């Protein structure tokens, strides 16, 4: 223990419990026994003088203190990872630390990173993902791709794309439920993506104003989970065509009512103005700008008269 800090193992275990949602789940992640996890968490609570979990039967519920503590520890671990990678990588490697919202990182960015690395073989990427925005210049992060957040005054911002928020479902679900018009949404369970900039009631107010929403349905705080549920036929999701682009292209999801949605500009790439001369940042900004423009051009070509079907 250094300077009054808990042992690093306790903090690592605490983050695992928060991620897994239970002592048993954390035990599987860390290859420990649930009793070892419980012992460490009681020791951590004893040192902090605060309860971190409410124990109800076989489940644990994090307290408000635990939620706040987890965010702070996560930021500290991210800085440790960045600092460690910089030292371990050596001076000859140009590493670009990027933070992104989890769903965009999973659904759009990571599948395209290979192209960036091929075009920029001297640059390595360190990618971190969470809903909380990065503190550029403080966390070692140079680029932050944020979702639906205000732009700080000291930052340059690039809007990634105009996204269309539309109903999405698997082809099998659409056929089974006979979805044909917006009025049909009242008959099917809806999947609510809680962080989406356009909720179901806003979409229905514009496109199905007299249709009552089905009260049944699932809720997710991450877009990639909502889209995964839609692919599994668990309901009708309302999400972004940017995040679902590859799933639409592959046919894993379809738009049962066509492009009947609400446009939004929600994802923005940020970097500090004082870092604008960084060749790594400019290389990434140039690459992502070209990539999005190429994808827009390809989408326009598909909608032109006479385009191959």
pLDDT of residue 58: 73
Q: Answer whether residue 287 shows pLDDT above 50.
A: yes
Burial of 160 (0-12, 13-18, 19+ CB in 10 A): buried
Q: Answer whether residue 3 shows pLDDT above 70.
A: no
- Per domain, the residue ranges of the chain are 1-92, 93-160+266-303, 163-264
Q: Answer whether residue 305 shows pLDDT above 70.
A: no
pLDDT of residue 266: 93
236 in Cβ contact with 300 (< 8 Å) = no
Q: Answer whether residue 227 shows pLDDT above 90.
A: yes
Could you tell me which CATH class the domain 163-264 is placed in?
A: alpha beta
The pLDDT tens digits for 202-216 are 999 999 999 999 988
CATH no., domain 93-160+266-303 = 3.40.190.10
Which CATH architecture is the domain 1-92 placed in?
Orthogonal Bundle (1.10)
> What is the distance between the alpha carbons of residues 14 and 10, in angstroms, rounded to a whole number?
6
pLDDT of residue 189: 96
The three-state (H, E, C) secondary structure of 10-25, written as one string? HHHHHHHHHHHCCHHH
CB proximity list for 266: less than 8 A, separation 6 or greater: 147, 148, 163, 197, 240
Burial of 277 (0-12, 13-18, 19+ CB in 10 A): exposed
Q: How confident is the model at residue 234 (pLDDT cuts 50, 70, 90)?
A: very high
Q: How confident is the model at residue 308 (pLDDT cuts 50, 70, 90)?
A: very low
Q: Answer whether residue 173 shows pLDDT above 50.
A: yes
CB proximity list for 25: less than 8 A, separation 6 or greater: 16, 17, 19
- Average pLDDT value for residue range 263-285: 94
Mean pLDDT over each residue of the chain, to the nearest integer:
89
Q: Answer whether residue 59 shows pLDDT above 90.
A: no
Q: Answer whether residue 299 shows pLDDT above 80.
A: no
Q: What percent of the chain has pLDDT over 70?
A: 93
Q: Answer whether residue 198 shows pLDDT above 90.
A: yes
pLDDT of residue 91: 52
Q: How confident is the model at residue 5 (pLDDT cuts 50, 70, 90)?
A: confident
Q: Which residue has the higher pLDDT, 234 or 135?
A: 234
Tell me whether domains 93-160+266-303 and 163-264 share a fold: yes
The pLDDT tens digits for 78-110 are 777 777 766 665 555 688 999 999 999 999 999
261 in Cβ contact with 162 (< 8 Å) = no
pLDDT of residue 309: 37
Q: What is the DSSP secondary structure assignment for residue 219, as one 8-state letter?
A: E
């Amino acid at each position: 223990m250094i300077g009054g800090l808990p042992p690093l193992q306790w903090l690592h275990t605490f983050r695992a419990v928060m991620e897994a949602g239970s002592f048993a789940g954390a035990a599987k992640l860390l290859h420990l026994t649930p009793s070892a996890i419980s012992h460490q968490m009681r020791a951590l609570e004893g040192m902090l003088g605060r309860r971190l979990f409410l124990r109800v039967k076989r489940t644990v519920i994090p307290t408000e203190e635990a939620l706040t503590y987890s965010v702070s520890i996560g930021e500290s671990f991210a800085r440790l990872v960045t600092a460690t990678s910089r030292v371990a990588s050596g001076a000859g490697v140009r590493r670009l630390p990027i933070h992104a919202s989890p769903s965009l990182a999973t659904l759009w960015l990571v599948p395209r990173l290979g192209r960036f690395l091929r075009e920029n073989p001297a640059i390595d990427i360190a990618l971190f993902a969470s809903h909380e925005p990065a503190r550029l210049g403080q966390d070692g992060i140079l680029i932050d791709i944020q979702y639906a957040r205000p732009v700080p005054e000291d930052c340059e911002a690039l809007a990634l794309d105009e996204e269309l928020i539309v109903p999405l479902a698997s082809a099998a679900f659409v056929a089974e439920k006979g979805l044909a018009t917006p009025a049909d949404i009242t008959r099917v369970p809806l999947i609510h993506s809680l962080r989406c900039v356009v909720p179901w009631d806003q979409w229905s107010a514009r496109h199905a104003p007299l249709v009552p929403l089905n009260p049944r349905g699932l809720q997710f705080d991450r877009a990639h989970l909502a889209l995964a549920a839609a692919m599994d036929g668990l309901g009708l999701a309302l999400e972004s065509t940017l995040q679902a682009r590859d799933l639409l292209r592959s046919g894993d999801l379809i738009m049962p009512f066509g492009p009947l949605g609400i446009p939004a500009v929600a994802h923005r790439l940020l970097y500090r103005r004082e870092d604008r001369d960084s060749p790594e940042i400019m290389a990434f900004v140039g690459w992502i700008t070209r990539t999005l423009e190429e994808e827009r051009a390809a989408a326009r070509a598909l909608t032109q008269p006479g385009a191959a079907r």
